[in-house]
Amino acid sequence: MASEPERIVLTYQDLQDLPEDRNRYEIYEGELAVTAAPTPRHQAVVRRLLVLLDGYVSAHDLGEVFDAPIDVKLSDISVVEPDLVYIAKSRQEIIGERFIEGPPDLVVEVLSPSTASRDRRAKRALYAHHGVPHYWLFDLTEQTAVALTLVTNRYQQVAKAGPDEVFSAPPFPDLAVPLEGVFREQFRGNGN
């Protein structure tokens, strides 16, 4: 009778030993996840969100906003690289020299067709498990935004906005994010 192979649990050190290439490597509870480099459209949306979010956070002296690539070490066996993260001023001690250690106050993911399922399921469960209080998802295909807030270890949807609407959600209910501007198309070239 054959026995099942022993499960290999990857750690932060294993992640550091991977090759430097254009892929995004993360580990979810010891399992390796690999994502190809983002598309220009994805990066344009991330940049627009970064400008809006960082401008708001800086103007109100609320903390720090970081964009990928940056490691967020939720545990030694769960390390992610979200599109954007916000760390409140009162929690700046989790910002280390090489990575953020612990759950950010807000994680923002821009969903591409290749990452949407992972961001909606695996990463959502991981962020909830590690206590990330706010999770925003911006869907490139649907041109929608959804805000989730952690309540009793589960995310509840607290806001949703469509293509021509303005998105506002905790932890920044006064920040208005015009989705038409965030998702505007600029790239009509070869489809990449």
Comparison of pLDDT for 140 and 22, the residue scoring more: 140
- Cα–Cα distances (Å) from 191 to 6, 47, 109, 138, 174, in that order, read 42, 20, 22, 20, 36
| CATH numbers and ranges of domains, the chain | 39-70+78-182 (3.90.1570.10)
For residue 65, the Cα-to-chain-centroid distance in whole angstroms is 12
Task: Return the H-helix or E-strand segment holding 136.
Answer: strand 134-139
Q: Are 177 and 49 in contact (CB under 8 A)?
A: yes
Examine the pLDDT at 192 and tell me if it is beyond 50.
no
Summarised one tens digit per residue, pLDDT across range 58-92 is: 999 999 999 998 999 999 999 999 999 999 999 99
Q: Are 138 and 120 in contact (CB under 8 A)?
A: no
Examine the pLDDT at 165 and tell me if it is beyond 90.
yes
